[in-house]
Structure 1
Amino acid sequence: MLAPFPETPAAAAALATATRFCPPALLNHSIRSYLWGAGYARAHGIGFDDELYYVSSLLHDAGLTETFDSHRVPFEEAGGRLAWVFGLAAGWPAERAARAEEIIVLHMRDDVSASEDPESHLLQVATSWDVSGRRPGEFPGDARAAVLSRYPRLGFGAEFLAAFEEQARRKPGCAAARSVDGGVGARIAANPLDA
């Protein structure tokens, strides 16, 4: 069974925003990122702020979209800044909006422990699984089937790699460029979710 989405105005607005601005493969990736992370948290007894994690998951790749891409700022920073603005517009206190920004930025940084920052940890685990198949043993076959049935990949791997390669071309020092240089293309091609 898939985790239910949070039922708050901010969660509904995040889904509406992602639906409007993300291409279908990227939208499904964002939703899968929430679902993978929420399932991982349940399996490992990790307490987390569900609404904050959901909003961060849905907006984490907004900086890769045509509307919110920045030619100078790394995509995760552009997406994080959008999440900050989004959070304030949703009526969140500035500190909560800043947490959404931080989670999105950190998902492309060095690993964060669940005890230090559960939401950032969940987004790192979930996105690295969905993008490149990292930690396959953490995601049982029945959960994989349920998530992929409802939110299929729709050619996500190739689309995502093309976006990262474009980011790397325009912003050679960014985290996406380091991922491309580090062989993310081969990991994407070998992702068991596309088998």
Structure 2
Amino acid sequence: MRFADIVIPETAATRAALEVATAYCSPALLNHSVRAYLWAAAYGAMNDIAFDAELLYVSSMLHDLGLVKEFDSHTVPFEEAGGHLAWVFGAAAGWPVERRVRASEVIVRHMWDKVDVAEDPEGHLLELSTGLDVSGRRPEAFPVELRAEVLERHPRLGLGEEFVACFRDQAERKPDSLAGRFVRTGFAERVAANVLDR
């Protein structure tokens, strides 16, 4: 698998999702969102996992918008806020209700410990790809050359430090959230040890 083999869907919804992410994310968070899709799509292709590329791309672009100040919620975890945002985005994109719900589910589930690939291939792929990108889980599942090219095209730009700060803020305000649990169980140490930052 090479970078050139990764299929990036070209639809009105994917273009709009990238535009939204570009407008609201920091440069590091934007590159993370792009890499989340690239890792996910590459893993799906390498492992013969059938997935909806448009749904996965849109979900990848929007999955962390609940962390940015304009969409941060003081009442629900950031992934739930992002799921609601995806539902609204899908409505504006003309998606049927079922597809809006799927985008919301994919974003909420990216924070789960594990997502069943048979039940939700897009959620499985986004959970796996964000785990790699943020805390360095399972780098061996991706060819070294692919990792190098993705990181060269979409550099990390201090993502680790930014993410730890965001999660600590979430944990302080929403201690019962998954972000709160992550912080209490060594999140900062896992992020600091990420092989992608070496």
Both structures adopt the same fold (TM-score exceeding 0.5): yes
Distance 2:163 2:8 in 1: 24
The AA in structure 2 aligned to 1:85 is V
Deviation per CA, 1:1-36, whole angstroms, max 9, x where unpaired? 422321100000000000000000000000000000
Matched, 1:186 2:189: yes
Number of equivalent positions? 195
> Could you list the runs of 5+ residues in structure 1 that have no partner in the other structure?
none
Which of 58, 65, 70 aligns to 1:67? It is: 70
What aligned pairs does 1:14-25 form with structure 2 within 5 A after superposition?
14-25=17-28
Matched, 1:27 2:30: yes
The AA in structure 1 aligned to 2:127 is Q
2:123 maps to what in 1?
A: 120
CA shift for structure 1 position 112: 1.1
Distance 1:121 1:109 in 2: 9
What aligned pairs does 1:166-185 form with structure 2 within 5 A after superposition?
166-185=169-188
TM-score by length of 1: 0.98
- Which structure 1 residue ranges, 4+ long, deviate > 4 Å from structure 2? none
What aligned pairs does 1:1-195 form with structure 2 within 5 A after superposition?
1-2=2-3, 3-195=6-198
Instruction: Look up the SS of the partner of 1:12 in the other structure.
Output: helix
Deviation per CA, 1:42-95, whole angstroms, max 9, x where unpaired? 111000000000000000000001111011110000000000000010010011
* CA RMSD in angstroms, aligned pairs only: 0.7
Distance 2:78 2:108 in 1: 9
Distance 1:180 1:113 in 2: 24
CA shift for structure 1 position 136: 1.4
The AA in structure 1 aligned to 2:150 is V
Distance 1:146 1:70 in 2: 35
CA shift for structure 1 position 187: 0.6
